[in-house]
Structure 1
Amino acid sequence: MKIPYNKVHVRGQILFAARGGAIHTFNLTDGSHISSWKHPDVDKVADSIKAINEAKAEAALAAEADTPATESEGPPAKRQKLGGEDESAPVTAEAEAEAEASTSTPTTAQDDKPRSGHVDGRGKKGKGKAGKDVENGKTRFARVPDRPVITHLTSTPNGSHLLAVTGHDKVVWVFKHDGNGQIEELSRRTMPKRPSAIAIGPFGQIICADKFGDVYALPVVIPDEGVKTSASMSALPMPTKKAFKPTANSLTVHSKGNRLALLNQIKQAELFNASKDANSANIPEFELHLLLGHVSMLTALVIGEKEGRTYIITADRDEHIRVSRYIPHAHIIENFCFGHKEFINDMIIPPKNQDILVSGGGDEYIFVWDWLAGKQLFKTSVLSLAREIAPETTAVAVSSIYNLIYPSEEGPLTYILAICEDIKAIFSWKLLENNELHCPGIIQLPGKPLSLTISPSSDDNAAPTLIAAIDPDVETKAQSLHAFRLTINHGRLAVDVETAFNDKAVEANESDISAEEVRSLLYTVESLRKVVTNAEFEEAGSEAPQANTDSDMAADTGDTEE
C-alpha cells in the first residue's frame, strides 16, 4: 500500500497536502497538481530499502547455490560429524586444530553460546540478538533510516510562507510561497527537542512547543547579518537566554514522568546559560528564545487575543490548559482551565468568537471554555456520537478540532468539527450565541480521517469546501484525498457534492509501505493515554488493568528520542 496523506492545509485557492515526508500543492479550482517537495531522507529510505532487498535476494541465491542437490526432492544428505560419538567419520585438519584449541582453553557456560559473528565447526554463522545473520560482529543488511513524516503544516496569514515540521529529525522547515502553489525551501532549523505544536504569532514569530514541555520563539525568516527585517524578533523585548529558570522544583512535582521532564528542563537551562558559543554542537545557530516551560509533554498550542493583550495558551498530557502572557512576559501565568480528566490533544479559538476556547483529547467530551477567566462554559459527549457508527467503542481519542464558518440568510453560522483516531467519521456541532454546542452531526467517510482543512468559497454566499486526508480502507479502494462541498440539513452539516484531486501520478511515485508501519507512524494519539500502575490500583483497593505498553511508557516520560 501507499502511505496516505496525513496533513492538509489551505491558503487561498491552494491546497498544501503532506504525504509522509513530501509536500504536494494542488489547485482547488480544478484539483490539478502543481508542485512537489520531498524531504532529503525520503530518497535515503527508498535507497536503503532497495539495497536491503537486493542484498537479501543475493543472499537467497547464494544459499540456494550452496545447497546440495538431492534426488527426487528427498531429504537432504546428512552432514558428516567433525568429531563425537561416530569415530568412523573422517576428521579434517581444521577440526583437529579446533579440538586442540577447545581442550587447551577453559570454557564457561557463556562461552558455549554462539556469539555474534562466530563460525562453528560445521561452518555455520551464528545469529545476533535480533536473529539476523551476522558476520564479523556486523549485520549483513544495513539499517533503514527513520522514515520522515510531516507532523505539522501551516502558513503565515498572508500566505507568503509555508511552515512544516518533521518529527524524526526535530526540524522546522520554512518555505517561500509565490501564491500560485510553487514553494521554495528557505531554511531548516533543528530544534533542541522534538516539536509537538506550532503557531504563528501576531508579529510574525514562530511559536513552537516541544515534547519536553518548553515553548520557543524564532523568526519566520532568518535575517541577514546586520540587516533588520520585519520577520526578525529584534523589535520585540525578548527574554534573555540566561533569564530562564524552571519555575518548578523537586518539591513541587511528584510523578516519575514529571520529575524526568523537570530534570531535562534543568539540563536545558544549564546548557543555555553555560555558553553563547555558536559553534557548540548543542546550541542552535539561529535566533531562538525560550519563553516558558511545563513539567509535562506539551500537546497543543494556540495564540489568543483579548482586551488588547496577546496570550499563549498551552495544553499538556497532564490535563492542564495554561494561559500565559505573550512576549516579553511569557513567564507570567494568567490562569488555568481545569476540567479534563485525560490528556488534551487539540484546541482552537473560533475566529468569530475570540472569548472562547474549544478543547478535546482523551476524554469523552468536547469542552468549551472562557479561557481568560479559566471557566468551563459547556461540554458535550463525542463518545455518544462515536457509538452511533461504532457501537463497540469504549473510549475516544480526539486527534484534531476545527472551526467552520457557514454563510446563511441570518448571517454566518459557526460549526465546530472534530475527528477521532480510528473512527471513520467527522463529528460536527453548531456553536450557539450562548457558547453551547448543539445540532450534533456525523459525516461518515470511506476511511479513517487523519487531517482536515476548510476552504472558504470565493463567493461569500456559497458553501465552504471541506478537504479530508484519510487512511482509506483496503476494500473500498478510495482515494486518500477527498473534497466535500457542504450543505445544511436541519441545522446539521452534510455532504452535498464530493470532488476528487488529480493525484494519480503523485501516488504512483510513492514507495510501498506496510499497514503496520503506517499505523506506527500516523496513529499516535491514543498512546498519550496513561495507564494506572499496579501499585496505584492496589493503594486504591482496586484490581489493576494491563501494564503499560512500550509506547505508553515512552509517552509518559515526555519523549524518549531527542
Structure 2
Amino acid sequence: MKIPYNKVHVHGQILFAARGGAIHTFNLTDGSYVSSWKYPDADKVAQSIKAINEAKAEAALTIEADTPATESDGPPAKRQKLEGDNESTSVNAEEASAPTTAQDEKPQAGHFDGRGKKGKGKAAKDFDNGKTRFARVPDRPVITHLTSTADGSHVVAITGHDKIIWVFEHDGNGHLKQLSQRTMPKRPSAVAIGPDSQIISADKFGDVYAIPLIIPADGSKSLASQSSLPLPSKKSFKPTATTLTVHSKGNRLALLNQIKQAELANESKDGSAGGPGFELNLLLGHVSMLTALVLGEQQGRRYIITADRDEHIRLSRYIPQAHVIEKFCFGHKEFISDMVIPAAKPEILVSGGGDEDIFVWDWLAGKQLFKTSILSLAQEIAPETATIAVSGLYTLLYPSEEGPMTYILAICEDIKAIFSWKLNENNELHCPGIIQLPGKPLSLTISPSDDAPPTVIAAIEPDAETKAQSLHAFRLTMTNGRLAMDVESCFKDKEVEANEPEISEEDVRGLLYTVESLRKVVTGGLDEEGGSETPQGNVDSDVAVDTGDGEE
C-alpha cells in the first residue's frame, strides 16, 4: 500500500498536505496539484528500507533452511568469514580453529543447553533480536505537525524522527522555499506560532521552548531570550568500564563508542561543537510528557495552555512571564491528546484524549463547564469499541440567518467517522452528529467561506477493499442542527500517488497511530512507568524533568 496523507492544513485557497516526508500543495478551487517539497533523504531512505526488507526476508529463508530438521543432526559447521560479511554474524578462520574454553561454550542450533531447552544458533538469535548483518537505516521521515502563520507567508513543519523544525517561505500560490531547519533537544509533540513571530514548541520530555520564526541576520536576540529559564544542564558522561575490565570484542567496540560519545558531549557542553547553533529559549516545564499546546488571549493578556499525559491542563502566562502559572483545569482521568479554542468564543477551551468524554472549560477560571460522551457516539457505528483515543479536535463556523454557529469536530484512532457537536450559547455541546468516512481519518482541516457552508478536507487511511483516495474534500450541510456531508470533491494527485513508495500496513500503524499508546497500563497498582496509579493531582513544576519514558 502507499503511505497515506497524515497531516493537512489550509490557508486561503491553498491546501498543504503532508504525506510521509513530503509536503504537497493543491489549489482548492479546482483540486489541481501545485508543487511538492521532499525531505532531503526521503527517497534514499525509502530505497534503503526496501533493500533491507528484501535482504531480511532472504536471510530468514536462509536461516530456516540452515536449521537442522531433527535434534540428532547436530549443529551446522562454522564457516569462514567471506568478503562483505559483518563481524557480528560471522566467524573468521582463526576463530573457527581456536580452541573453545568452558566459559566460551554456548549451546548451538539443534543442541540442548543442558536445562532441557533447545538452544538457538547465534545467527538465529541475532535475527530474532534485529541484530543482523544489515546496516541500520535512518528512521523513515514523517511530518508530524504542519501549520502556518496567520497571514500564510510562512509554513512550519516538524519531522519527528530527527526532531527538526522546518520553516518555509510561502509565495501565496502554493510554492514553498525552505528557509531553515533546526534540530530541537527532544522530539517536539506540539507546536504553535505566536503573534510575535515566535515558534512555541512543546516536547515529549515536558519542556516548552521558543525559537524565532526567522533567524535574525544580525544575530540579535528576541524577546523570548530576555525572559527564558536557564536551559537544563547535562552531567558529563564517563564510562565506568575500561579496556582492562572489558574482554570480549563486541564489548570493546561498545566501550569505544561510549568514549567517543562522552567526548562529543563534553565538547558540546563547552560550546565548541554539537550545541544548538540557533537561539533556543526554555519557557516552562511539566513533570510529564506534553501532548498538546494552544495559545489563548483574554483581557488583553496572552497565555500558553499546555496538556500532558498525566491528565493536567495548565495555564501559564505568555512571554516574558511564561514561568508564572495562573490556573489548572482538572477533570480528565486519562491522557489529554488535543485541545482547541473556538475563534468565536476565545474564552472557551475544548479538550479530549483517552477519556470517554469531551470536556468544555472556562480556561481562564480553570472551571469545567460541560462534558459529553464521545464513546457512546463511536459505539453507534462500532459497537465493539471499549475505549476511545481522540486524535484531533477542530472548530468551525457554520453560517445561518441568526448568525454564525460554532461547531466542534473530533476524530479518533481506528474510527471511520467525524463526530460533531454544536456549541450553544450556554457553552454546552448539543446536536451530536456522525459523518462516516471511507477510511480512518488521520487529520482534518477546515476551509471557511463567508456566505456558504465550510469545506472539510480529511486525510484518511483508505480501506483496502474500497481503495478510496487518501485525500477527501466535502462541503457540509446542516439538518436539525446536525452536520452532514453534502458535495464531495477530489484532488488531482495521481502524479503524487504514482511516485509514493510502497509501505506495509504494519509500518503505517507504527508511524501514524501513536495516540492510543499514551494510555497508561495499570498492573498491580503501578502504571507502565512504575508510578502509582493514583493521579498526581496538583503536582507540577517550572523545572524541566526527564520523566524517563525513554523517547527522544
Pick the TM interval, shorter chain.
0.7 to 0.9
Summarize deviations over 1:167-203 as a string: whole Å, max 9, x none. 1101101011000000011111000000000001121
Indicate conservation of the 8 Å contact 2:204/2:551, yes or no.
Answer: no
Alignment of 1:63-462 (within 5 A): 102=99, 106-108=101-103, 110-114=104-108, 126-127=122-123, 129-131=125-127, 139-226=132-219, 234-235=222-223, 238-242=226-230, 278-281=271-274, 283-457=275-449, 460-462=450-452
Following TM superposition, by how much is the alpha carbon of 1:410 offset from its aligned partner in structure 2, in angstroms? 1.1
| CA–CA separation in structure 2 for the residues paired with 1:516 and 1:319 | 29
Residues 220 and 536 of structure 1: CA distance in aligned 2, closer, same or farther (over 3 Å): closer
| CA–CA separation in structure 2 for the residues paired with 1:386 and 1:81 | 55
Indicate conservation of the 8 Å contact 2:8/2:443, yes or no.
Answer: yes
Summarize deviations over 1:204-248 as a string: whole Å, max 9, x none. 11000000000000100111135x6xxxx6256732553879xxx
**TM-score with structure 2 length normalisation?**
0.79
Residues 112 and 497 of structure 1: CA distance in aligned 2, closer, same or farther (over 3 Å): same
| CA–CA separation in structure 1 for the residues paired with 2:62 and 2:370 | 68
Following TM superposition, by how much is the alpha carbon of 1:55 offset from its aligned partner in structure 2, in angstroms? 5.2
Following TM superposition, by how much is the alpha carbon of 1:329 offset from its aligned partner in structure 2, in angstroms? 0.7
In structure 2, the partner of 1:7 is 7
Q: Secondary structure at the match of 1:208?
A: strand
Following TM superposition, by how much is the alpha carbon of 1:59 offset from its aligned partner in structure 2, in angstroms? 7.7
Q: Which amino acid aligns with 1:378?
A: F
Query: Are 2:522 and 1:532 equivalent residues in the alignment?
Result: yes
Alignment of 1:498-517 (within 5 A): 498-517=488-507
| CA–CA separation in structure 1 for the residues paired with 2:76 and 2:509 | 49
Residues 312 and 107 of structure 1: CA distance in aligned 2, closer, same or farther (over 3 Å): same
Indicate conservation of the 8 Å contact 1:292/1:330, yes or no.
Answer: yes
Q: Secondary structure at the match of 2:425?
A: coil
Question: Which runs of no fewer than 5 residues in structure 2 stay unpaired?
Answer: 78-93, 110-120, 234-264, 528-545
In structure 1, the partner of 2:484 is 494
Q: Which amino acid aligns with 1:218?
A: I
Residues 408 and 55 of structure 1: CA distance in aligned 2, closer, same or farther (over 3 Å): same
Q: Secondary structure at the match of 2:226?
A: coil
Following TM superposition, by how much is the alpha carbon of 1:534 offset from its aligned partner in structure 2, in angstroms? 1.4
Residues 51 and 322 of structure 1: CA distance in aligned 2, closer, same or farther (over 3 Å): same
Following TM superposition, by how much is the alpha carbon of 1:56 offset from its aligned partner in structure 2, in angstroms? 6.6
Q: Structure 1 vs Structure 2: percent identity of aligned residues?
A: 72
**TM-score with structure 1 length normalisation?**
0.78
Question: Which runs of no fewer than 5 residues in structure 1 stay unpaired?
Answer: 68-74, 84-96, 116-124, 246-271, 538-555
| CA–CA separation in structure 2 for the residues paired with 1:518 and 1:428 | 27
Residues 60 and 314 of structure 1: CA distance in aligned 2, closer, same or farther (over 3 Å): closer
| CA–CA separation in structure 2 for the residues paired with 1:359 and 1:502 | 34
Indicate conservation of the 8 Å contact 1:365/1:379, yes or no.
Answer: yes
Indicate conservation of the 8 Å contact 2:228/2:283, yes or no.
Answer: no
| CA–CA separation in structure 1 for the residues paired with 2:230 and 2:60 | 59
Q: Secondary structure at the match of 1:501?
A: coil
Alignment of 1:6-45 (within 5 A): 6-45=6-45
Q: Which amino acid aligns with 1:129?
A: K
| CA–CA separation in structure 1 for the residues paired with 2:305 and 2:61 | 60
In structure 2, the partner of 1:70 is none
Residues 62 and 496 of structure 1: CA distance in aligned 2, closer, same or farther (over 3 Å): closer
**Number of aligned positions between the proteins:** 473
Summarize deviations over 1:117-167 as a string: whole Å, max 9, x none. xxxxxxxx9515332799xxx843232321111110000001010000111
Q: For structure 1, which segment, 327-336 or 527-536, has the greater mean C-alpha deviation from structure 2 after superposition?
A: 527-536
Residues 240 and 114 of structure 1: CA distance in aligned 2, closer, same or farther (over 3 Å): same
Summarize deviations over 1:286-343 as a string: whole Å, max 9, x none. 0110000000000000000000000000000000000000111111100000000000
Indicate conservation of the 8 Å contact 1:8/1:468, yes or no.
Answer: yes
Following TM superposition, by how much is the alpha carbon of 1:439 offset from its aligned partner in structure 2, in angstroms? 0.4
| CA–CA separation in structure 2 for the residues paired with 1:449 and 1:505 | 22
Q: Secondary structure at the match of 2:202?
A: strand
| CA–CA separation in structure 2 for the residues paired with 1:12 and 1:99 | 69
Indicate conservation of the 8 Å contact 1:126/1:133, yes or no.
Answer: no
Following TM superposition, by how much is the alpha carbon of 1:45 offset from its aligned partner in structure 2, in angstroms? 1.5
In structure 2, the partner of 1:519 is 509
| CA–CA separation in structure 2 for the residues paired with 1:385 and 1:301 | 26
Alignment RMSD: 3.3
Which of the two has higher C-alpha Rg?
1
